[in-house]
Amino acid sequence: MSRRAARARGFSLLELMIACAIVGILAAIALPAYRQYVLQGNRTDAIKALAFYQQALERCYSQNFTYVNADPTPCPAAPGTTTTTTNNDYSLTFAINPTSYLLTATAIGTQAPDTTCHVFTITQAGTQAAQDTSNNDQTQTCWGGH
């Protein structure tokens, strides 16, 4: 076997290093973009939970004319204490009184790095709001109003 035939069968160290560099550059670009996409997709967990509790409170109000628990049909759907969303991506807090409420979802756990849509809120009037980690208004971005 000639010397040239032996060299043609494999990759040189330089070729392997170039391939590794290309893979590294692609990973450095793709992974942050993927992570941001996942965070954006998880925002629906907050919106879904807020809509669920809002509907439950409105049903309670339509039956009892109050948002708090009332006889004969108590309203146990909104616990009034802190809880988490189904996927544990947001902490839910409830500020409820007889004629109004404020529901708040705050990013926690793996969703905490979402600095754009960190806090979602909704009121009995249907007013939606969202803030980033610096308390800047992000309502249009976070509630889907692009």
**Which tens digit of pLDDT belongs to each residue from 75-129?**
766 666 788 998 899 999 988 888 999 999 999 999 999 999 999 999 999 999 9
Q: What is the pLDDT of residue 2?
A: 57
* Token couple for 132: 């980033």
- Does this model's pTM top 0.85? My answer is no
Amino acid identity, residue 111?
Answer: Q
Q: Kindly report the backbone phi and psi dihedral angles of residue 70, in degrees, each rounded to the nearest multiple of 5, phi listed first.
A: -145, 145
pLDDT of the residue at 5? 56
Look up tokens 């790095």; give the residue.
113
Question: Any idea where the domains of the chain sit in the sequence?
Answer: 44-142
Q: Could you give the CA distance from residue 74 to residue 30 in angstroms, rounded to a whole number?
A: 50
The mean pLDDT of the chain is 86
At 45-59, the pLDDT tens digits run: 999 999 999 998 898
Q: Are 73 and 64 contacting, i.e. CB atoms less than 8 angstroms apart? A: yes
Q: What is the mean pLDDT of residues 64-68?
A: 84
